[in-house]
Structure 1
Amino acid sequence: MKQPSINIRNKRATFDYELVDTYTAGIVLTGTEIKSIRAGKASLVDTFCIFIKNELWVKNMHITEYFYGSYNNHTARRDRKLLLSKKELEKLQRGMKDPGFTIVPTRLFINEKGLAKLVIALAKGKKQYDKREALKEKDDRRDMARLFKR
């Protein structure tokens, strides 16, 4: 029996930030955390990444406690370590040195092998007028799609 595909997105990331470069990272999880993710009980709202002692950590990622977890259950918003190659970590650290840049998670999914992966992006914050422009473009695309459907 095929497992349903898990694809949890951070929709605010593309609205608030201009994504410059993306990376796919592994996550260090406990047993109950991966079970909750497979059940689709995770959220990337208000999530961000920081470097602590040359290691990349994701902060504020919410993974709901596993229903059958007993005393082994995890804390819902604990910090989780991300797994990337040394070259990728160095590239991200260089990118973070520029003012206005940050690392935001954009997508959480489970790959073919059953491992949880987090797509992160080096991003630059958008100004308010850029956000308004993005909304106008989105509305225009929607209107054009409606016209061509008729």
Structure 2
Amino acid sequence: MAKDKDKQRFANNINIKNRKASFEYEFIEKFTAGMVLRGTEIKSIREGRVNLQEAYCTFYGEELWVQNMHISAYEQANNFNHEPLRQRKLLLNKKELLKLKTKIEEKGLTIVPIRLFLSGRGFAKLEIALARGKKLHDKRESIKERDIKRELSKIKF
């Protein structure tokens, strides 16, 4: 009986998106990275209690870290809980890390988390993108395109 409640609470089809990132940035290249998590963090992720809105990635030495990704505290954990805004290490191949580091040194490029999901094996993966910030007129164009698509979908039905 208790196992049925846990199955209802923990979902394996987690797909948390950062919709603000697609509006603010133009994506150049996408990567999928693993994350180093602590015990209660994966339980909070399975509950869907993650916020990617203010998250960004930075290099410390040769390692890539994600900052400001808020994973809420797990309710059933008492004193073994994690910090919600701690830095989390991202796991990528050495070639991918080197490629990202050289691209980041160019002016105007950044690494932005796009999506958090669970892999088929149950591991938390973070999809990141090498991105360039949009200008105001680019944002206006994306709003126009979205409105046009909405109008066309209304006409089709």
| TM-score of the aligned structures, taking structure 1 as reference length | 0.97
List aligned pairs for 1:26-105, cutoff 5 A.
26-105=34-113
Question: Secondary structure at 1:72's aligned position in 2?
Answer: coil
Structure 1 counterpart SS, 2:79 = helix
Tell me which amino acid in the other structure corresponds to 1:27. M
Kindly state the Cα deviation for residue 54 of structure 1 after the two structures are TM-superposed: 1.0
CA RMSD, aligned part only?
A: 1.1
Report the TM-score when normalising by structure 2: 0.93
Pair 1:17 & 2:10 matched:
no
The Cα shift of 1:98 comes to 1.0
Question: What amino acid is the match of 1:49?
Answer: C
Instruction: Tell me the amino acid that sits aligned with residue 155 of structure 2.
Output: L
Q: How far off its partner does 1:97 sit?
A: 1.2
Secondary structure in 2 matching 1:71: coil
C-alpha displacement of 1:4: 4.2
Divergent runs of 4+, >3 A: 1-4
In structure 1, the partner of 2:145 is: 137
Cα-to-partner distance string for 1:32-65 (whole Å, 9 max, x where unaligned): 0000000111110110000001100000000000
Structure 1: 5+ residue stretches without partners: none
C-alpha separation in 2, matches of 1:15 and 1:112: 29
Aligned positions, number: 149
**Secondary structure in structure 2 of the residue aligned to 1:40:** coil
| In 1: Cα distance, 2:53 partner to 2:86 partner | 14
What's the % identity of the aligned pairs?
Answer: 50
